[in-house]
Amino acid sequence: MIRSGGSTDFDVAIVGGGIVGLAHAWRAVSRGHRVVLFERTQIAEGASVRNFGMIWPVGQPAGELYQTALESRDLWLQLGKLGVTSVENCGSLHLAHQQDELDVLREFCALNTHQGKIVDPDEIGELSPLANPEGLLGGMYSPTELRVDPRSASHSIANWLADEHQVKFCFNTAVADVTGGRIETSDGQRFTANRVIVCSGSDLQTLYPDEFASSGLKLCKLQMLRTGPQTGINERTPHIASGLTLRHYTSFESCRTHQKLRDRIARESPLLDHYGIHVMASVFPGGEVVLGDSHEYGERISPFDKTEIDDLILAELKKVIQLEDWSIQQRWHGIYAKHASLPVYEKQIEPGVHLFVGTGGAGMTMSFGLAERTWQRWEMEKQ
Ligand SMILES: Cc1cc2nc3c(=O)[nH]c(=O)nc-3n(C[C@H](O)[C@H](O)[C@H](O)COP(=O)(O)OP(=O)(O)OC[C@H]3O[C@@H](n4cnc5c(N)ncnc54)[C@H](O)[C@@H]3O)c2cc1C
């Protein structure tokens, strides 16, 4: 139970108003719990607003993680149907401009673990005017990917949770300490809760420095770019990934042909591996295209962005997509925490206090499904 100035009681307190905190708030209120959420900024501005907005089940390995991603996808579609935030069922295209890329895609489709199918260059041209036909050998179309707008989704979901489900949001409120289930904010307020869920994203150090040090979590910085509006494309245009992406998502690692592709890229373009570059494009309302990205870890992370990385990303993108206007309107970077082997770093730190951080590069895709599964488990444990 929470005592906030003696006036209000809550069942669940959440630290962090990014997509992971919102996912837990939603799954908690759907079970009838009364929830308070603390976000230190005026409106969430971490990884959850800086991403591609790709809900990307095809990147998850077959089995439990892929199933969780599909469950998450259903929950996003539910939010779309309810009119909470815009959710486009756009699908995705992986393009192959090299034979070894097509080999991996063919083997992946033959495994039949996901829903992708091989498409030829003509079919790709019909599906997306973005695909660069020069040297295009074929690709894979997958129907399971969605597009959400990260710039507005967290805000819309928070408003909906507040208006329709009476979640109490405390924005501009940093949590300074969580001990013995008691929450203390930096402006001196105190709360207690039956269950506290810490969803602080890339900042676990502030509340739990020792835990962060021993967790195996690493920070990762990604550079991103956005073009101005382009004609002939819209938010229903499939997301595009290049052959480089096949070495980024673990779903493709089960293919025998995968290592050959990795070896070729490492040999031909070592800088791409050095900066963790693979390239993707996502179209937003009005025809703006969000482009990325790179992955720099740990001590390599600098507050200053590297022009060399942006140039490499753009050079690789120009091989696989065509745009009428390549001028860049916005550049930014985002940081997330990632665990080497876990899809999320989840830990009961003391009775009633849980950490739920480190969803890495798949937090938009996985958070709803992961949170739902966690709440199901907690319910079972109570019985
Ligand atoms: C550039 C980029 C592109 C990406 N693209 C995709 C994609 O297309 N698809 C996909 O599935 N995933 C993508 N991801 C990953 C995804 O964005 C993250 O996994 C996800 O947003 C993490 O959500 P979060 O809630 O844990 O973190 P955040 O969004 O960072 O939220 C954490 C929040 O906690 C708050 N907070 C921290 N400490 C405190 C405190 N003590 N008190 C109060 N508040 C606190 C912070 O202010 C912050 O708002 C991408 C990530 C990046 C950076």
Which string of b and e fits 334-372 if b means at least 16 CB within 10 Å?
Answer: bbbbbbeeebbbbeeeeebbbbbbbbbbbbbbbbbbbbb
Q: Is the pTM of this model over 0.75?
A: yes
Strands 168-170 and 117-119: unpaired
- Cα 101 to averaged position of ligand 1 atoms, centre (Å): 31
Query: Nearest C-alpha to atom 27 of ligand 1 is from which residue?
Result: 201
**What is the reported pLDDT for 9?**
75
Distance CA 187, CA 172 (A): 10
With a 6 A CB cut-off, is 371 part of the ligand 1 pocket?
no
Q: Residue 3's pLDDT is what?
A: 40
Q: What is the best residue among 184, 186, 203 to mutate for testing ligand 1's pocket, by most ligand atoms within 8 Å of CB?
A: 203
Q: Which atom of ligand 1 is nearest to the CA of 38?
A: 43
CA of 64 to the centre of ligand 1 (A): 23
Q: 6 C-alpha to center of ligand 1: Å?
A: 32
Which domains are seen in the chain, by residue range? 1-91+148-216+341-383 (3.50.50.60), 94-143+217-339 (3.30.9.10)
- Give the residue among 66, 235, 236 at the shortest CA–CA distance from 151: 235
Q: Write out pLDDT tens, residues 195-236.
A: 999 999 999 999 999 999 999 999 999 999 999 999 999 989
What is the distance in A from the centroid of ligand 1 to the CA of 358? 9
**pLDDT tens-digit map of 13-36:** 999 999 999 999 999 999 999 999
- Note the pLDDT of residue 163: 98
Ligand 1 centroid from CA 343, angstroms? 14
Q: Give residue 381's region: left, alpha or beta (phi > 0; psi -120 to 50).
A: alpha
CB of 290 shorter than 6 A to ligand 1: no
Report the chain's mean pLDDT, rounded to a whole number: 95
The predicted structure's pLDDT at residue 383: 81
What is the rounded distance in angstroms from the CA atom of residue 129 to the CA atom of residue 142?
17
Mutate to test the pocket of ligand 1, among 55, 359, 366, 370 (most ligand atoms within 8 A of CB): 359
Task: For ligand 1, atom 19, name the residue with the nearest CA.
Answer: 363
Please, are residues 26 and 169 in contact by the beta-carbon 8 Å criterion? no
> What 3-state class would DSSP assign to 361?
helix
Can you tell me the distance from the alpha carbon of 218 to that of 229, in angstroms, rounded to the nearest whole number? Answer: 35
Positions in the chain whose pLDDT score sits under 50? 1-8
Residue 14 near ligand 1, beta carbon < 6 Å: no
CB of 207 closer than 6 A to ligand 1? yes
Name the nearest CA neighbour of 181 among 374, 1, 36. 1
Q: How many CB atoms lie under 10 A from the CB of residue 285?
A: 13
